[in-house]
Amino acid sequence: MGVLTVVMFVGNEYIPHMIIALFITIVALVTVIVAVIAAVEIIWDKSKPGWNKLNTKGYIVIVCGILMVILPLIQFFFQTRLDDQKEANRKAEQRKSDSVQQAAYKRSISEMRREYQLSVSQIRTDFGDSNNRTLTVIGRTLAEYKLALDTAQKRIHTLLHDSSNMKIVLPDQPVLSVADAATVKGLQFIKFEDGLNHFRINFLNRDGPSCCYNLKISAVVVNLGDLSNKNVEKDSSTVFLMFYKGKINVRLNSVQALSKDEARNWTFIIDNSIPFDRLYLWVRGTYGDRNYSHPYSIDQVYYVHLPSNTFGSMGAWFGDDIRNNVRINEKQ
**Residue 181's beta-bridge partner residues?**
184
Mean pLDDT score of the chain: 75
* Banded model confidence at residue 159, pLDDT cuts 50, 70, 90: low
- Cα angle 190, 208, 155 (rounded to 5 degrees) comes to 110
Residue with the larger pLDDT of the pair 182 and 146? 182
**Rounded mean pLDDT, 105-110:** 72
Delineate the domains of the chain, giving CATH numbers in brackets.
Answer: 2-93 (no CATH), 128-171 (no CATH), 176-330 (2.60.40)
State the DSSP string of 186-233.
SEEEEEEETTEEEEEEEEEEESS-EEEEEEEEEEEEE--GGGGGS-TT
Distance in angstroms (rounded) separating the CA atoms of residues 321 and 329: 13
What does pTM read for this prediction?
A: 0.48
- Cα angle 192, 197, 201 (rounded to 5 degrees) comes to 120
Q: Calculate what percentage of the chain has a pLDDT beyond 90.
A: 26
Burial class (CB in 10 A: 0-12, 13-18, 19+), 217: buried
Distance in angstroms (rounded) separating the CA atoms of residues 68 and 27: 10
* Banded model confidence at residue 279, pLDDT cuts 50, 70, 90: very high
Under 8 Å between Cβ of 120 and 135: no
301 has a pLDDT exceeding 90 = yes
